Amino acid sequence: MAKVIPFKAVRPTRDKVSLVASRSYQSYTQDELEARLDYNPFSFLHIVNPGYKYDKQITGTERYNLVRNRYLEFKEDRIFIEDKTPCFYIYKIVNREGQSFSGIVAAASAEDYKKDVIKKHEDTIEYREHIFKDYLKTVGFNAEPVLLTYPDNNVIANIISETQKERAEYEFTTHFRDTHYLWVVNNIQAIKNIENEFKSIDTIYIADGHHRSASSYLLSETLKSENNSHTGNEPYNFFMSYLIPESNLKIYEFNRLVKDLNGLTKEAFLIKLDAMFRIENRGSELYKPNNKHHFSMYLDGEFYSLYLRKHNYTFNNALDTLDTQILYKTILEPILGISDLRNNKRIDYSHGKNDLVNIKSKIDQGEFAVGFGLVPITIQEMKAIADENLTMPPKSTFIEPKLRSGVTIYEF
């Protein structure tokens, strides 16, 4: 039984939302970041980059405190307002390719994360969990929801559909030509219906935001231990999430690029591959795999298809059937000598929205020696990994939608 509740969002005024909303600040190049900070005084980037005001790089606790100050200034200047009653928020994105995503921004239970009602499929790095927990505790808010997915539900779908017939509170288009819409759901009966429907759902899954979920849980445990009057209903017991039905999730593959052949010649490398794969040379034309356990490879100006020799590979669990794991266990680790996929500098990743032209270009330019193309992981595979308490290799999925920071803010 999932506990999903409404909350009183702090959010931009309608006239400024397009100016406030930003991508995650790590996604900007330095030039892009400086341009937005120079020319847009309302950007949420001013809050998360408080050192800009002093032309100084600031880190650690000093930065956290300044983030808090910038945030309070945005509230004092009425750039941000707070809803008077707890609400759900219907959020819709239509991207430049015409794909549409609709879901609900709400508060999900940190206790559900602990009890595995909210399931994960990725490992987290402990020190990153604690860094972000400390950040959240100091600044007192979260502005980027965790992406959760739930089984398709007709009642919730009808509420979303009916709500979207009304005029949106927000409607704005980004530089990427994605159009964002937000509706405020403050009708008491609609709120009750949404809560009850989520109570009927046994399991929801983290699609994106594993570290934010883990940090939010750590924060709830910390603040609970510090509160002698803890009831379980305090805001810190929940974390802001964007819940989207499984059928509306878009999963792209993450392709792999490797800088060298680990001391092997091209011929020796191909011979080693032959033990686990049936190999066909596809020439210089772009070649993309289209089935599970089927990979494309670009090497020395030519594409190859690699078909797994299944009689040489054992499937014991959901992880063993995952193409990213197969590539790791048959090529990356034993042949190319890459055991640490997170930290080895010889490997890089290119998500499926950057097509195989990107891989070909980087290899032709000499940045990498070989590239591997995969097919996307399915929602069923992702759920199977989570259900078996397993974890995917790093960079197994690139998932859409991607929300903007600063559109809805959750205070603890």
Separation of alpha carbons 206 and 372, rounded Å: 27
pLDDT at 35 over 80: yes
- Residues 322, 325, 329, 330, CA torsion sign: positive
Does residue 355 carry a pLDDT above 80? Answer: no
For residues 136-150, average pLDDT: 97
- The whole-angstrom separation of Cα 146 and Cα 408 is 12
Provide the pLDDT for residue 14: 97
Average pLDDT along the chain:
95
Domains in the chain with CATH codes: 4-251+400-411 (no CATH), 254-396 (3.30.1760)
**C-beta atoms surrounding 208 within 10 Å:** 21
As a whole-number percent, the residues of the chain with pLDDT over 70 amount to 100
Q: Is the pLDDT of residue 338 over 90?
A: yes
pLDDT of residue 124: 84
User: What is the rounded CA–CA span in Å between residue 278 and residue 307?
Assistant: 5
Residue 342's pLDDT is 84
d(CA 326, CA 97): 31
- For residue range 296-321, list pLDDT tens digits in order: 999 999 999 999 999 989 999 999 99
What is the Cα–Cα distance from 314 to 306, expressed in whole angstroms? 17
**How big is the chain, counted in residues?**
412
* Averaged pLDDT, 377-386: 96
Number of H helices, E strands in the chain: 13, 21
Tell me the pLDDT tens digit for each residue of 157-214.
999 999 999 999 999 999 889 999 999 999 999 999 999 999 999 999 999 999 999 9
Cα distance between residue 220 and residue 392, in whole Å? 26
